[in-house]
Chain A
């Protein structure tokens, strides 16, 4: 019995050693020289692999940067700090960065959101969306199961009363929530001083139809268009702001278009 154990250890050890030698030889023979800058750049990046730069992970972005021709301000979680360090490493000028955050274009929280049926099934927005929106009556609005909050790698999206609330400080605009939302009601918008004006509705239904379904939906009355002298534009039954024209900053964060009621 002892002999068997001894032979086993010797045999496996021998096989392991043999292949280790083969691998070591292959490694030195087939080694690929990597640009030393890649490692330096990768160390400067935040390594959260969020993909907001458009590359698969931080390493891919570092490789692309080392090759040149890529904008150095694509890393959103890193912000200006990382941009400055990248500028040092690559010897290029840092450009000013615009802070963007994710905004949810729906304001119908759990209390005002109308239901059309009882939903018993997988509790994700994606599953609900496949089943004609699950229990949510509105064909455009938030489904309230928090796929966006789950997708957020920075813990910036929280579900409050069935509606996602984005923390403007924590949000780095990586866009994970945008791809997680099956209804596509989240978008990235530029903000200044954590304040933003946006239309908290995505409904393309006509006014009366929207009003029937939702008390806070945009009914495309066009008043915003008149009072803001063209900063808002009603297009396809939905008001859309043009941010260049919109210079007025209101103090309320969760403010939507003025409506006659």
Chain B
């Protein structure tokens, strides 16, 4: 039963309650870094990493520190500190290991700090009173869901380069229309799991 619950949380975070396409969190990188599939995968994995780590670290901080000493009102500030530090570490790591990816992600890499999907994840996790393992699985699921949305979008936009788009819909407009259609498609899964 426990495994089933973990699987449910994972599938829900990844597909049926996808952060980008059903909660509309993290739209900035979703639109900004979805021009090329390579960069989209890199960004997705970076966000997945930050999400998983921040889910586990903030869980520890919330339950061992904030909750124990009666400071749950500090969760926003504490979570932001955790996320910002993790993003810094990820940035250094990517700069060291893969300069091309670092250049491809550009400004969107430090912007993961202000990615509302990650803060949203940590706050949902507290709100739904997940256990530690559930929180970690939730983080991985949400991150992979984000990657999935980004990669699908990047794939469509790469094809779109060769499409005959009406003049007035070129650029941002067609991207947002596609994002809306994708959201519709993902919401089609909505009834499968209630979480």
Q: Which of B69, B77, B96, B167 contacts A7 (CB 8 A)?
A: B69
Does A169 reach chain B (CB closer than 8 Å)?
no
Q: Which of B71, B82, B95 contacts A11 (CB 8 A)?
A: B71
Q: Is A8 a contact of B61 with CB atoms below 8 Å?
A: no
Number of A-B contacts (CB under 8 A): 47
Q: CA–CA, A47 to B65, complex, Å?
A: 46
Interfacial chain B residues near A23, Cβ < 8 Å: 85, 88-89
Q: Is B85 a contact of A11 with CB atoms below 8 Å?
A: no
The prevalent SS among residues of B at the interface is helix
Please provide the chain A residues from 51 to 96 with a CB less than 8 Å away from any CB of chain B in the complex: none
Does B126 reach chain A (CB closer than 8 Å)?
no
Q: Is A15 a contact of B78 with CB atoms below 8 Å?
A: yes
Does A122 reach chain B (CB closer than 8 Å)?
no
Q: Is A11 a contact of B70 with CB atoms below 8 Å?
A: no
CB distance from A113 to the nearest CB of B (A): 23
Does B74 reach chain A (CB closer than 8 Å)?
yes
Does A32 reach chain B (CB closer than 8 Å)?
yes
Q: CA–CA, A8 to B70, complex, Å?
A: 9
Interface size on A, residues (CB 8 A): 16
Q: Which of A11, A19, A30 contacts B92 (CB 8 A)?
A: A30
Please provide the chain B residues from 81 to 108 with a CB less than 8 Å away from any CB of chain A in the complex: 81-82, 85, 88-89, 92-93, 95-96
Could you list 22 examples of A-B contacts with CB < 8 Å?
A4-B71, A11-B69, A11-B71, A11-B74, A12-B74, A12-B77, A12-B81, A15-B61, A15-B78, A15-B82, A16-B81, A19-B81, A19-B82, A23-B88, A23-B89, A26-B89, A27-B92, A30-B95, A31-B92, A32-B95, A32-B96, A130-B168
Identify the A interface with B (CB < 8 A).
4, 7-8, 11-12, 15-16, 19, 22-23, 26-27, 30-32, 130
Identify the B interface with A (CB < 8 A).
61, 65-66, 69-71, 74, 77-78, 81-82, 85, 88-89, 92-93, 95-96, 167-168
